[in-house]
Amino acid sequence: MSSKFGLAGGIPERRVRPIWDAIDSRQFKNALKLVTSLLSKYPKSPYALALKALIHERMGKPDEALSVCLDAKELLYNDDLALMDDLTLSTLQIVLQRLDHLDLATSCYAHACGKFPNNLELMMGLFNCYVREYSFVKQQQTAIKMYKLAGEERFLLWAVCSIQLQVLCDKSGEKLLLLAEGLLKKHIASHSMHEPEALMVYISLLEQESKYNDALEVLSGDLGSLLMIEVDKLRIQGRLLARANDYSAAVDVYKKILELSPDDWECFLHYLGCLLEDDSIWKYFDNIDQIHPTKHIECKFSHLTEEMFDSRISSASDLVQKLQRDNENSNLRGPYLAELEIEKRKFLFGKKNENKLLESLLQYFLKFGHLACYASDVEAYLQVLSPNKKAEFVGMLVKNSDSFSDSATKVLGQTTTILKVQELTGNIFELPVDEIEASAVKLAKLYCQNLSLSKDLDPQESMFGEELLSLISNMLVQLFWRTRDFGYLAEAIMVLELGLTIRGHVWQYKILLLHIYSYVGALPLAFERYKALDVKNILTETVSHHILRQMLESPMWVDLSNLLKDYLKFMDDHLRESADLTFLAYRHRNYSKVIEFVLFKQRLQHSNQYQAARVEAAVLQLKQNADSVEEEERILENLKSGVQLVELSNDIGSKTLRFNEDMQTRPWWTPCPEKNYLLGPFEEISYCPKEDVKDDREENMKRAIQRKSLLPRMIYLSIQCTSTALKESAETNGSGGDVKICGELKCLLDEYTKMLGCSLNDAVEMITGISQGVRTSESLGSNFVDWLNFAVFWNAWSLSSHEHWHVLNSLFERLILDRVRSMGSSDMSSCYSDVQVLIQIVTEPLAWHSLIIQACTRSSLPSGKKKKKNQHSDQLSSSPMSQAIKDSIHSLCSTIQEVSSWLLNQLNHQEDEQVERFLSTLKRDEDAAGGPGQILGVLESFIASSEELEVGNRIFQALKSWNTADTARKTVMAQQRVLREFLQICESKRKLLETLKQQMSHV
Amino acid sequence: SSFEGDLRKEEMTTIRRFSCNDLLRFTSVNLDHLTETFNMSFYMTYLARWPDYFHVAEGPGNRVMGYIMGKVEGQGESWHGHVTAVTVSPEYRRQQLAKKLMNLLEDISDKIDKAYFVDLFVRASNTPAIKMYEKLGYIIYRRVLRYYSGEEDGLDMRKALSRDVEKKSVIPLKRPITPDELEYD
């Protein structure tokens, strides 16, 4: 079109270029000047207008940009002569997308395509619009039109992908697949097929229809030669055969792959699955939801007689032995691990081969025990062992490792492995305290002895024995759990911090530290260690669970706000740009990626963490501004009075949440954010429950997010209710609109209690019971901040009931004072979880209640703006409600005073005194047999005696810079900071209440 | 040449195309400070354009052991494969996994895309990596001054493929160049 004549959107190129240059170099003012002059010459040029809109948008003037866009659109629609080229439209699209008006861009393209029905470029633009809108049906229709017009293979495949997406995402009928298959067949008959990706789509389509044999036929026909990598082809073939239940043929295919690549572990599992006609592995294959599949794959044997089982297993053994022989001189783990897998299957089948399994595990240890991956390789086999066999196995390892001492690194590797196996089997939880201590001391010595091995290493490289410090720290945390002696935790901090001083890149130390710091309430340090992990982009989705929960329950609002902002920005950016990348995959004919991208975007969109963060970001703003009802109203206005979040709550109810967090990196004592073993009494756990946590998480998380997303609306409605209640209390007759508000609040309360697991009546009974001391606060379980929130809004809904006020007051009193009393004079390190609860009570339910009181007071006060007559207030002052408000203020004031006093008492200790106290937990009596401090002792005396020649300059300097007291001081200071920030919040609440008290006394 | 015979024989672990879900599984590899976590459009552009150049190695328990990402680009005799990133989890180091991943990319550049050479950039100070690449047959082709955020020099290393019969692509340049002289990003 126009561009053919050196024109851009009908304007000479040379006049447009300077504008783009100015935009690219961010000289927007200059660009605007240029475009204005251009418009004076071409006032009717939609392209010039599109450029102007773009500049406005970049300058941060969305309203102007949109209005210019609309002008351009008008021109495009009304003027038949207007140039309707892709350049103009795509420029408009860029602006409109950024303005969140994709629909306008789409209608421009649709209009253009209607005008020029044979223009392929415009149709591609329109297709792109539908990709951005995720309108798969319209994508399909447009692609088919393009295919008919140009006859190109790619457009047909665009249509086929769009059909597959309809079935996958819109749950459209599978009949559509038949249509796609028909189209492809017809095309192949006349034009054949030319691209491997096209073939992959064809096969996946047939697979989606469960036509495995048809797919196999295609693969083995001429088209199969499109796949140039033999192994890839075999893998597909094996999978199709297995799914078609042609197991014996599948076995042959997998055998072939194993001969080509004997270390292909997944292939071996498929081989064994097919051999034993066990389809459970395919089920697990289909379960795309699993990022980290359960390690314990269930096995089905019931369909096999013992004889059948024996003969098949023996052919598997033959193959494995052959693979071992053929690869004798290489270091392949696969064929040896395969031996373990076979023994495991035998064991699960009911063969009494536990000893043989142990023997194989030992053989694998002797071959690969020095490698860092031994423990994770064998995890699935350790799991099936009985507890005493696990212990026996650890014993075997200890015995056999001593006989190996040809190289220091090998000994080091083996020792580390044994410890990891002890952790994995839970064996370490059964050892007596002194044995664990002795073992930790031994490891510390081993670490010191081997530091010299790392002397010449590049600082970037991992050092020898690095893992030992993590293992020691894990033991120390366990010792703390058992003995409640804080010294062990202090020691764990020291060990890991020393490790970071020697080499600052070890992320495992940082994660362990951040959790220990979180536990002892040194949250600023925990956050610092988290930041040092340099978590960004997709890692914010998989790693931020380490810190997010603690931050949400802390007074560190500024850091929390940044954390949430960064995370939400990443997610929102991705959700926005994902469609463009999908279109890129379409354009480059990588069709399988098209489907992958769309599914992945959905997966992130439904991430539980994303949904929670959206709600929490809103709640955080409300928390931060809860001292002023006017500020709060402003925030609520931005949140559309909480309506959107209520919709979110309903929306979540009907959807499956996705769990994308990588929990594998969490320490043993807190396998998921909601769980921390250290908070409860010592119990023997095996390390393995790590993976059980997922099952009930989904339901719990869903409810928690749903509950929380009702909060802003309930706050909004409660504030509205106050004016009604006061009017009623003064006049007795309510008005229609107010009834509606109350009605809605009642509905939300119903919803809220449902998500707490009971009816409204039961919930009321529950809180009343607790306030009267008939029930204990334990009956609220772990959600008692949510219960308090409920009580607050329930009271707001029925402000005229004096009794309800009373229930709420004593509920606050009871729950807060119980905590304060139980904390008594204990140290922050040992009662941070209580502090955390108090922080939540004060910053949420108590804050909301104060806000409601504030709103009540405001409505009852004579003010210029309000048309309230003074006599109302007069009536109020003597009304029971005014008395209720006064009582509540009084009660809250004294309750919060107790919290402040506790905090002040903690903060009263001098810093030096605190540091001394911290360090004293590590001091040991010379004669004492055990206790904390031994490991630090080993490390410190090594530091004192180390020589530069031995460990090298870098390590030597690091060791010399170590200072135990400094680390103690940093911890103490971090703890104090949390307390100070909390105190500040308490004080501001108290001041607010005092002011309200004053105001009420004038009423 | 090292490409005689079926290179697939050398690949031991399950190596398969990288998929979006692997982005959620590579955490412990990427927490390592030497591995950069790029933004999403970077990864997805590679996946959308060069899916054959983005592979992941998986171990028992479906653990991500490492991955390689790259692309193929250039005109005429500079049509080449490029290694953008290759990384192996510390847990699986010293098992020649990086070599396997590199060989795969070389193989695809050589056999499927018929490229002339494969190249990569490495920090001039990263001696361990340079040594490893040299062992894999890479030659320091030229030095790029202040390539890394305008501070550190980068080395452009190359390995000739079978199509470059005379190995012209790997004759080292005599002088260092500046980043603006680079043909490709």
Give the residue from A636, A579, A558, A652 showing the smallest Cα distance to A136: A579
Per-residue confidence at B6, pLDDT binned at 50, 70, 90?
A: very low
Q: What integer pLDDT is reported at residue A84 of this predicted model?
A: 74
Which token pair is A542?
A: 């998989």
Do the beta carbons of residue A875 and residue A730 sit within 8 Å? yes
Out of B23, B93, B112, the one facing A228 most closely (by C-beta) is B112
| Average pLDDT value for residue range B147-154 | 89
CA distance B150 to chain A (A): 20
User: What pairing do the DSSP bridges indicate for beta strands B117-123 and B80-88?
Assistant: parallel
**3-class SS of residue A485:** coil
Q: How far apart are CA B97 and CA B11, in angstroms?
A: 9
Per-residue pLDDT of B9-45, as tens digits, reads 333 468 899 999 999 999 999 999 889 999 999 999 9
Q: What is the dihedral of CA A540, A546, A550, A555, to 10 degrees?
A: -40
| Average pLDDT value for residue range B116-128 | 93
Of all helices (H) and strands (E), which one includes residue A397? Answer: helix A387-401
Give residue for tokens 């819109």. Answer: A170
Please give the radius of gyration of chain A, using alpha carbons only, rounded to the nearest integer.
34
Which token pair is A121?
A: 């470029």
Q: With contacts defined as CB-CB under 8 Å, which chain A residues touch B19?
A: 596
Do the beta carbons of residue A930 and residue A437 sit within 8 Å? yes
Give the residue from A613, A617, A618, A581 showing the smallest Cα distance to A598: A581
CA distance A209 to chain B (A): 23
Out of A260, A332, A570, the one facing B8 most closely (by C-beta) is A260
Alpha helices in B19-161 (DSSP H): 20-23, 27-30, 40-49, 97-107, 127-135
Per-residue confidence at B7, pLDDT binned at 50, 70, 90?
A: very low
DSSP B90: G
Check A536 against B32: CB less than 8 A apart.
no
Out of B13, B51, B92, the one facing A264 most closely (by C-beta) is B13
Q: How far apart are CA A758 and CA A286, in angstroms?
A: 36
Give the residue from A59, A54, A62 showing the smallest Cα distance to A88: A54
B119 forms beta bridges with B82, B158
Q: How far apart are CA A380 and CA A348, in angstroms?
A: 12
CA distance A261 to chain B (A): 5
Give residue for tokens 């219960």. Answer: A787
> Positive or negative, the Cα torsion across A217, A218, A222, A224?
negative
Check B61 against A573: CB less than 8 A apart.
no
First-last CA distance in chain B: 29
Q: How far apart are CA A437 and CA A432, in angstroms?
A: 9
**3-class SS of residue A598:** helix
Out of B30, B58, B112, the one facing A539 most closely (by C-beta) is B30
**Residue B13 dihedral angles phi and psi, to the nearest 5°:** -85, 170
Check B60 against A377: CB less than 8 A apart.
yes
Do the beta carbons of residue A813 and residue A593 sit within 8 Å? no
Give the residue from A271, A219, A279 showing the smallest Cα distance to A243: A279
Q: How far apart are CA A238 and CA A282, in angstroms?
A: 12
Do the beta carbons of residue A599 and residue A161 sit within 8 Å? no
**Residue A316 dihedral angles phi and psi, to the nearest 5°:** -65, -40
**3-class SS of residue A967:** helix
Out of A265, A332, A585, the one facing B14 most closely (by C-beta) is A265
Best mutation target among B7, B8, B9, B14 (most A Cβ atoms within 10 Å) is: B14
Q: Burial of A978 by CB count in 10 Å (0-12 exposed, 13-18 middle, 19+ buried)?
A: buried
pLDDT profile of chain A (1003 residues), mean per 10: 54 88 92 92 89 94 93 83 77 90 92 90 95 96 96 96 94 89 96 93 94 96 89 92 94 94 90 88 56 63 89 95 88 90 93 93 92 91 90 91 73 92 87 93 95 89 93 96 94 98 96 98 98 97 97 97 98 95 97 96 96 97 96 95 93 89 92 91 64 70 94 96 69 59 94 93 94 86 90 92 92 93 84 94 97 89 50 56 91 96 92 93 79 94 94 95 96 96 96 92 73
Q: What integer pLDDT is reported at residue A294 of this predicted model?
A: 56
Of all helices (H) and strands (E), which one includes residue A633? Answer: helix A629-638
Tell me the average pLDDT of chain B.
89
Tally of helices (H runs) and strands (E runs) in chain B: 5, 7
DSSP A470: H
What are the residues whose beta carbons fall under 8 Å from the beta carbon of A528, sequence distance 6 or more?
A: none
Check A585 against B128: CB less than 8 A apart.
no
Number of residues assigned to chain B: 185
Do the beta carbons of residue A463 and residue A454 sit within 8 Å? yes
Check A593 against B91: CB less than 8 A apart.
no
The interface pTM score, or ipTM, of the predicted complex is 0.93
First-last CA distance in chain A: 77
Q: What integer pLDDT is reported at residue A285 of this predicted model?
A: 52
- DSSP assignment of A89-117 equals HHHHHHHHHHTT-HHHHHHHHHHHHHHST
Q: With contacts defined as CB-CB under 8 Å, which chain B residues touch A580?
A: 41
CA distance B57 to chain A (A): 10
- DSSP assignment of B169-184 equals GGS--SS-B-GGG-S-
What are the residues whose beta carbons fall under 8 Å from the beta carbon of A540, sequence distance 6 or more?
A: A566, A567, A570, A571
**3-class SS of residue B161:** coil
Q: pTM surpassing 0.80? A: yes
| Cβ atoms < 10 Å from Cβ of A642 | 21
Q: With contacts defined as CB-CB under 8 Å, which chain A residues touch B8?
A: 229-231, 260-261
CA distance B127 to chain A (A): 8
Q: With contacts defined as CB-CB under 8 Å, which chain B residues touch A529?
A: none
| Average pLDDT value for residue range B93-120 | 93
Best mutation target among B47, B52, B89 (most A Cβ atoms within 10 Å) is: B47
**Residue A622 dihedral angles phi and psi, to the nearest 5°:** -65, -40
Q: With contacts defined as CB-CB under 8 Å, which chain B residues touch A505?
A: 32-33
Q: With contacts defined as CB-CB under 8 Å, which chain B residues touch A231?
A: 8, 11
Which token pair is A618?
A: 């809103």
Q: With contacts defined as CB-CB under 8 Å, which chain A residues touch B124?
A: none
Do the beta carbons of residue A902 and residue A1003 sit within 8 Å? no
Q: What integer pLDDT is reported at residue B101 of this predicted model?
A: 95
**3-class SS of residue B142:** strand
In Å, what is the CA distance from B38 to each residue of A152, A255, A317, B42? 35, 38, 44, 6
